[in-house]
Amino acid sequence: MAKEIERKFLLKNEDWKSQVDKSFSIKQGYLSTNPERTVRIRIKNKKGILTIKGITKGISRLEYEYEIPFQDAMELIDLCEKPIIEKVRYIVIDDKLKWEIDIFEGENKGLELAEVELETENQKINLPNWIDREVTSDRRYYNSSLIKMPFKDWSN
């Protein structure tokens, strides 16, 4: 059984940019946004990825990912709910943790998030100076929620 344990944060500044290890563009859509089971198609580096996630309990949920043929992913993304999520992901290693910084484009332009996956729910982490407030439990920041209420439509 695959389990994802993840925390999400807003960014405070751009100090993380000097620590970027690599970056790539992501295009993803959702075939199902039911909170009990989301089904996502992602295109990243000319690869197709099918992801199925279970309901979030605390900061954990079941997650299954499978590589699928690129052409299938291109066709499936056209079947997804709109808008399609577009973002550039930057990988940053800080204090031996892999941070994924997502800078959104398109309908969610202006949104910038940092995510870190953990080994356990109560794992202690030292937050980098570029991290602002935690938004893990705020469903608005779930990618599957951003297609229903894109960031551009938030009144903050």
Residues noted as catalytic = 30
Q: How do strand 3-11 and strand 60-68 relate by DSSP bridges?
A: antiparallel
7 contacts 136 by C-beta, under 8 angstroms: yes
Tokens of 65: 């990912």
Tokens for 148, please give them.
């229903």
Q: Which residues of 35-59 are buried (b: 16+ CB within 10 A; e: fewer)?
A: eeebbbbbbeeeebbbbbbbebeeb
